[in-house]
């Protein structure tokens, strides 16, 4: 007879965010006060008030901490090498950010050994985990040749904890194709896609002036779909552009950045299943205008928050930091920001097993040194994540 999985009851949780409106206070966060959560194997088996908790093999006293679903960081660029400290320093001294800085990282990434790339990825995953992130998406996009893009994606696909992998051959046109960007588009939608598709779930395009235009982006996303990849789009980051409308047109899971939107863009997002993923670390690190989260929420769009962790425009791996900026600078409420950093991110990755703490979900939990999730924005910059449980295992 197979052995029954071990059960563990986490008790004495001051406030448990479930993201299930059927639980607790009935708000979108479904907050249960003085709560317990029972884990069976790697899964949440029960949530409710401590005094009603069923018996379990083990008990873990949360000591009055708040508990939230592990953060879902649905947009990062961790497959890189090199350093761009000087670029940041120069920008903070008055120079504007353009898409061209990516080429610096492409050079360093192509020259890096497999071991160096893997070590950088692993270090960032550890850093994210320590800050409460339990689901991570990351992209290629600093190799920009079939060989280098496939190398990065292969490495990501075999790294433990690296669950969501995106092919971003269309990050920027590399220097060797500067005179013929359409030839590069054909490569990204052809041989490079063939080499990369086995290692990725998603296909992404940087649809932006100086990167890929609407027709080029559509060609690449459509080719990716034909190979079984699901589209996501870097859209409307630096300028108004066609990215959001294209994302909705191709049925993308997410349109990311959404900084410069027309009313028609907002309506298109609100009327679609495409999530608007906002990346305020990017605006923070480039001294740019923040996206208007409230406008999207009031229109009825689904909003996710993510770090966009990358060495050029947003070198933070901290979801709590992004929550704090979203509340202070984008007029999100603390509840909305927490939802967007957990359930919103899960929706942007089309995942139903993470981003919530209800029976049947994966037991990914962040315990906070605070009585409430509101402290994530009330106490910006303070390392409040005290414990992280990943798939039922305390890390
Ligand atoms: Zn990005």
Asked if residues 192 and 145 have their Cβ atoms less than 8 Å apart, the reply is yes
Q: CB under 8 Å to 150, separation ≥6 — which residues?
A: 143, 192, 195, 196, 199
Averaged pLDDT of the chain: 96
Per-residue CA distances from 57 to 5, 15, 43, 336 (Å) = 10, 23, 15, 35
Report pLDDT for 94.
Answer: 83
DSSP letter for 389, please: E
Q: Residues 289, 134, 266, CA angle at the centre, nearest 5°?
A: 35
Q: Which of 4 and 359 is assigned the larger pLDDT?
A: 359
- Asked whether residue 290 carries a pLDDT value surpassing 90, the answer given is yes
- Asked whether residue 231 carries a pLDDT value surpassing 70, the answer given is yes
Q: How far is the CA of 73 from the centre of ligand 1 (A)?
A: 12
Q: How far is the CA of 279 from the centre of ligand 1 (A)?
A: 8
> How does pLDDT run across 4-51, given as a tens digit for each residue?
789 999 999 999 999 999 999 999 999 999 999 999 999 999 999 999
Report pLDDT for 90.
Answer: 85
Q: How far is the CA of 99 from the centre of ligand 1 (A)?
A: 11
Q: How far is the CA of 75 from the centre of ligand 1 (A)?
A: 6
Report pLDDT for 102.
Answer: 83
> How does pLDDT run across 197-208, given as a tens digit for each residue?
999 999 999 999
SS3 assignment for 120-133: HHHHHHHHHHHCCE
pTM equals 0.97
Q: How far is the CA of 77 from the centre of ligand 1 (A)?
A: 6
Q: How far is the CA of 376 from the centre of ligand 1 (A)?
A: 24
Q: How far is the CA of 306 from the centre of ligand 1 (A)?
A: 10
Among 350, 370, 391, 318, residue whose Cα is nearest residue 73? 318
Please report, in range form, the residues annotated as the binding site for N-formimidoyl-L-glutamate.
142, 310, 312
- The domain segmentation of the chain, as residue ranges, is 7-70+356-394, 71-348
The arrangement of secondary structure in 7-70+356-394, i.e. its CATH architecture, is Roll (2.30)
Domain at 71-348, CATH class: alpha beta
Please report, in range form, the residues annotated as the binding site for 4-imidazolone-5-propanoate.
84, 142, 171, 237, 313
- Distance of alpha carbon 306 from alpha carbon 232, whole angstroms: 14
Report pLDDT for 270.
Answer: 98
Residue 240: what are its φ and ψ, rounded to 5°?
-60, 140
DSSP letter for 251, please: T
Q: How far is the CA of 360 from the centre of ligand 1 (A)?
A: 31
- Asked whether residue 2 carries a pLDDT value surpassing 70, the answer given is no
| Angle separating helix axes 146-157 and 102-111, nearest 10 degrees | 80
Task: Judge residue 329's burial from the number of C-beta atoms within 10 Å of its C-beta, 0-12 exposed, 13-18 middle, 19 or more buried.
Answer: middle
- Asked whether residue 244 carries a pLDDT value surpassing 90, the answer given is yes
> How does pLDDT run across 68-107, given as a tens digit for each residue?
999 999 999 999 999 998 888 888 988 765 555 788 899 9
Report pLDDT for 138.
Answer: 98
Asked if residues 254 and 233 have their Cβ atoms less than 8 Å apart, the reply is yes
């Amino acid at each position: 007879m197979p052995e029954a999985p071990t059960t563990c009851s986490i008790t004495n949780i001051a406030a448990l965010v479930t993201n299930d409106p059927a639980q607790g206070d009935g708000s979108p966060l479904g907050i249960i006060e003085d709560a317990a959560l029972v884990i069976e194997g790697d899964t949440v088996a029960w949530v409710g008030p401590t005094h009603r908790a069923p018996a379990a093999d083990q008990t873990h006293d949360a000591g009055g901490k708040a508990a939230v679903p592990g953060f879902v960081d649905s947009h990062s660029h961790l497959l890189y090498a090199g350093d761009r400290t000087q670029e940041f320093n120069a920008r903070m001294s008055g120079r504007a950010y353009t898409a061209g800085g990516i080429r610096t990282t492409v050079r360093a990434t192509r020259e890096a050994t497999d071991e160096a790339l893997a070590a950088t990825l692993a270090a960032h995953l550890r850093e994210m985990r320590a800050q409460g992130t339990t689901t991570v998406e990351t992209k290629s996009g600093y190799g920009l040749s079939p060989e280098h893009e496939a190398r990065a994606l292969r490495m990501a696909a075999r790294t433990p904890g690296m669950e969501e992998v995106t092919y971003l051959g269309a990050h920027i046109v590399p220097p060797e194709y500067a005179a013929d960007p359409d030839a590069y588009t054909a490569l990204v939608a052809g041989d490079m896609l063939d080499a990369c598709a086995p290692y990725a779930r998603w296909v992404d395009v940087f649809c932006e002036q100086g990167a890929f235009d609407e027709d080029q982006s559509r060609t690449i996303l459509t080719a990716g779909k034909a190979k079984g990849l699901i589209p996501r789009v870097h859209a409307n980051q630096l300028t108004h552009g066609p990215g959001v409308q294209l994302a909705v047109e191709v049925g993308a899971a997410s349109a990311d950045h959404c900084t410069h939107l027309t009313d028609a863009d907002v309506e298109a997002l609100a009327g679609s299943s495409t999530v608007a993923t906002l990346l305020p670390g990017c605006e923070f690190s480039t001294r740019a205008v923040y996206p208007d989260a409230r406008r999207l929420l009031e229109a009825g769009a689904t909003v996710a928050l993510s770090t966009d962790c990358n060495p050029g425009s947003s070198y933070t791996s901290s979801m709590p930091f992004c929550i704090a900026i979203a509340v202070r600078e984008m007029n999100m409420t603390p509840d909305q920001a927490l939802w967007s950093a957990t359930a919103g991110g899960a929706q942007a990755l089309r995942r139903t097993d993470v981003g919530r703490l209800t029976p049947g979900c994966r037991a990914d939990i962040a315990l906070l040194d605070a009585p409430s999730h509101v402290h994530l924005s009330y106490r910006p910059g303070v390392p409040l994540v005290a414990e992280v449980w990943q798939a039922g295992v305390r890390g």
